[in-house]
Amino acid sequence: MREPPGLLDYARRWPLRLVLAGVGLFLYLPLLVLVLMSFNDSRRTTQWKGFTLDWYAAVFRDPELIAALGNSLMIAALSTIISLLLGTLAALALWRFRFGGRTLVDGAFALPIVVPEICMGVAMLIFFARVMPWPVGMPWPFSLGPIVIAHVAFSFPFVAVVVRARLQSFDRSQEEAARDLGASQWQALRDVVIPHIRPALLAGALLAFTLSLDDFVITFFTAGPDTVTFPVKVYSMVRFSVTPKVNAISTMLLLLTIALTFMALRLQARALAEVRR
């Protein structure tokens, strides 16, 4: 008896291929145009006059852009470290312990992932303005505190999800064997559990860094008047005009995001391959 056609059989048919190609062009062609126009020798983005790298040089000569990039990198680094610590501890607690309200806590970790960013941004704005006002005039980088806290709030659940998925493949008998051989609970965690989840830790850190670096909505609501991040600065430039300089900035941020995302996906794929072995 002949088996029914599978998904790959349908994928070999040219109409489906044509639809997939059209969807791919719809999604990625604007990005390719943006990258191409970043090398345009004209200030107008609607007319191509020639190839140049002057706009990339102009980006590095802009002190405000460099300061905004430094703020974004500082925020991303701080939020990644804190998110990695909190997310790993949360994943270990939900994986190891059984306690009342565990299902509720598990579901609460998913809220920052599914809640729209605009809602979370408004909630953070109200929180910092009414509940916990940040001291005015704090020296840099302490003036970035509200943004770091907001980024940690939506980043660490992603780390917890990645680390917890890795922990599901861990054989607890290895930890028990280490304890039987005289290792303390901390030594077993450090020498047995942590090496197993290291790919997930790296993937979660890269994911948190990428999310923090690219975030605009939540940062827009929580940034102070004297604190400008890279996405917010780009948005303020786009409001007046879209020049090849903006295209060059966007291309650089796009390439950095793609590189970090690619590294995170490779680490996750490597971890999955080790589990299947």
Q: What is the pTM of this model?
A: 0.76
Count Cα atoms within 13 angstroms, Cβ side, for 4: 1
How many CB atoms within 10 Å of residue 66?
13
Tell the residue number behind the tokens 């051989």, with chain if given. Answer: 181
Burial class for 266, CB neighbours closer than 10 Å (0-12, 13-18, 19+):
middle
One-letter amino acid for residue 192 of the chain: V
Assess whether pLDDT exceeds 50 at residue 140.
no
How many CB atoms within 10 Å of residue 201?
19
What homologous superfamily does CATH list for 55-276? MetI-like (1.10.3720.10)
Would you kindly state where each structural domain of the chain is located, as residue ranges? 7-37, 55-276
Q: At what angle do helices 117-126 and 145-167 cross, to 10 degrees?
A: 130
Which percentage of the chain shows pLDDT scores above 70? 85
Two tokens, residue 160: 């917890």
Spell out the alpha helix ranges (H) of 12-62: 14-37, 54-60
Q: What is the pLDDT of residues 182-241, one digit of tens each?
A: 777 787 777 788 888 888 888 888 888 888 988 888 888 888 777 788 888 888 877 776
Can you say whether residue 50 is alpha, beta or left, with left for phi > 0 and alpha for psi between -120 and 50 degrees? Answer: left
